[in-house]
Structure 1
């Protein structure tokens, strides 16, 4: 948990940045390079994090411990590799009269159009927003293998108020609206679309798929497939549901079922294969979510692959490279 909170606090690369030109569309505003501001070089980013740690901790030992974690997660070698091989922009786009923040990542200098992956983040509100550190840890390694990645922060995220997120309500339109922008991304093959999500992003993926016939394959990482049953495994999530989901107290079961793919697995397309990745020691979203869902997919003859990582946690920290390889192989095969 501490590592996750540190990761999502590695600053938002969406302001005071130089202009970029990856996405030319009239609905796109304020497009800016991810590799600018303090992220323009590794040293400035690391120094900024050091200053942040010094302000938030009382001892030099604590600062050094956090810096050691940062250095193990984000090496200069990786930073330099990704900066030299990837283009990355943040941008804003309008959905339902809200300006929503998004991002696009793509390999540099590709001599042909590349398949596109829509990534759906986890968390809720500002918690779990995709910042530079999480891009580098979770998305850059996938994009480098020959994919254009585009994603939404969901409405309200990284603004003064994050109350707009309905946790699988109207915010799903922020995901599907990206489909209209993909043809405007330089080098993106809008005929080869995949989608994947982590944690809450798994739910977003299944909900978004209801409104699109263009997605060829999907993947979920530690996805919640039955929100009501999930409260048995993790009762504290009810506070999130009460805060985020409209009319939750009045229509609890109905609202949870609407967001639970396990309840409508029989409606899933047999033409969209599903990859399920999950750690067996996940304390945030029980592995039972993926196991039970896989059983339903067998029942309804939905093509899928279930990969479990023994004794790994919610973020698949112990098996990150192996999980990335599964995702890359899955989408190269199906897109």
Structure 2
């Protein structure tokens, strides 16, 4: 059901016509307010979702169950608070002659320049794209604690063809480009920048960290750290690798090692502390990824903290609020 909501959200946000300017940069175009069209009013959003639920199912009990899920995950009070306290825009920017989509979230009433977090999403292609619903659940609560958040959807996402995503290949440049925009965000402190990512976004985070110079701290949620070993935990991921990673068939090991931070952990900076969050019942990215990485970080004297959530899943749904607090605490400590 979540995927249904998020898919519908995408079709709506793409038609937003309410202009917004949070980034004053020549490469940033088509900036639009996240809180517009159906998202301009909570009841309008909820009513639209109810119509969609009814169209999908004629059973009242099913519709009511879906609406109950919607209310428990979002809710009018939460929506109104975020709309009051946060500015949010989607935008386009060009990388390698490709128009990439991004987003920025910023507290409204900050009295001083704020630290910036670059967020790297999970998934691949259109799967896992960041839409309004996922912003409300995963990003708004953290931004509301005093952070500016900026992120990329990665090349090809939110287009009719999502074949451009190379799963840690050229799409890394899409994230690195965001660092050029940070000084153009009014109220952003370019000297206090952190980066975090979930699932595939953990891999992205470490790859981008190799290219930028002003990063102060990192956090990952259920991050993949060894793609080769990960195939023994979840063989089905090879379908994604074959589809996404260039030259995978002929250079499999080389390409997987490039994307596996455990293979070059000795190259990590001891000046960038790393927070690792993982659920012990994660069926998508085994908790062994974070455990093995923590052991390697200790061996190479890289400051880090590992937090495991017992019996929780890939999305940390049982401990979402606690995980958000850990992320906020980590970056407030190190930025």
Per the normalisation by structure 1, the TM-score is 0.98
Take 1:10 and 1:113, find their aligned partners in 2: how far apart are those partners? Answer: 35
Give the drift of 1:58.
Answer: 4.1
- Find the counterpart in structure 2 of residue 301 from structure 1: 301
> Root-mean-square deviation (CA), in Å?
1.0
How far the C-alpha of 1:319 sits from its partner, in A, is 0.5
Which residue is 1:261 aligned to?
261
Give the 3-state SS of the residue equivalent to 1:9 in structure 2: helix
Deviation at 1:47, TM superposition (A): 1.3
**2:195 is equivalent to residue 195 of structure 1:** yes
Deviations 1:145-187 (A, max 9, x none): 0000000000000011100000000000000000001111111
- Any idea what SS the aligned residue of 2:284 has? coil
Structure 1 residue 57, shift from structure 2 partner: 2.7
Q: Partners of 1:108 and 1:307 in 2: how far apart? A: 31
- Per the alignment, residue 51 of structure 1 pairs with 51
1:17, 1:34 within 8 Å by CA — same for their partners in 2? no
Q: Deviations over 1:106-131 (max 9, x none)?
A: 10021110000000000000000000
Q: Is contact 1:107–1:144 with CA below 8 Å preserved after alignment?
A: yes
Correspondence list, 1:230-269, <5 A: 230-269=230-269
CA distance in 1, matches of 2:208, 2:323: 23
- Relative to structure 1, is the Cα distance of residues 211 and 310 closer, same or farther in structure 2, using a 3 angstrom cutoff? same
5 Å-filtered alignment, 1:280-291, equals 280-291=280-291
Give the 3-state SS of the residue equivalent to 2:9 in structure 1. Answer: coil
Give distance in 1, aligned partners of 2:275 and 2:4.
Answer: 28
Structure 1 residue 213: deviation in Å? 1.3
Residue equivalent to 1:227? 227
Aligned with 1:62: secondary structure?
helix
Cα distance per residue 1:247-300 (max 9 Å; x no partner): 111111111110000110000000000000000000010000000000000000
Counterparts of 2:117 and 2:288 in 1: how far apart (Å)? 26
- Deviation digits for residues 34-81 of structure 1 (CA, Å, limit 9, x no counterpart): 000100000111112112222223422222211111111011000000
Task: Spell out, residue by residue over 1:225-250, the C-alpha distance to the aligned partner (whole angstroms, 9 max, x if none).
Answer: 00111111111111110100011111
2:46 equivalent to 1:20: no
Distance 1:63 1:7 in 2: 13
Q: Decide whether aligned partners of structure 1 residues 273 and 174 sit closer, same or farther in structure 2, where only a CA change above 3 A counts.
A: same
Q: 2:163 is matched with which residue?
A: 163
**For structure 1, which segment, 114-123 or 10-19, has the greater mean C-alpha deviation from structure 2 after superposition?**
10-19
* Equivalences, count: 333
Matched, 1:9 2:4: no
1:1-335 correspondence to structure 2 within 5 Å: 3=2, 5-6=3-4, 8-9=6-7, 11-12=9-10, 13-335=13-335
- In 1, the alpha carbon distance for the partners of 2:98 and 2:287 equals 35
Does structure 1 retain, via aligned residues, the 8 Å contact 2:16–2:33? no
Map Cα deviations across residues 1-29 of structure 1 (whole Å, 9 max, x no partner): x54x2453351224223000111111010
- Name stretches of at least 5 consecutive residues in structure 2 with no aligned partner: none
Separation in structure 1 between the aligned mates of residue 58 and residue 288 of structure 2, nearest angstrom = 41
Q: Deviations over 1:194-219 (max 9, x none)?
A: 00000000000000001011100000
The 10-residue stretch of structure 1 (56-65 or 106-115) with the greater mean CA deviation from structure 2: 56-65
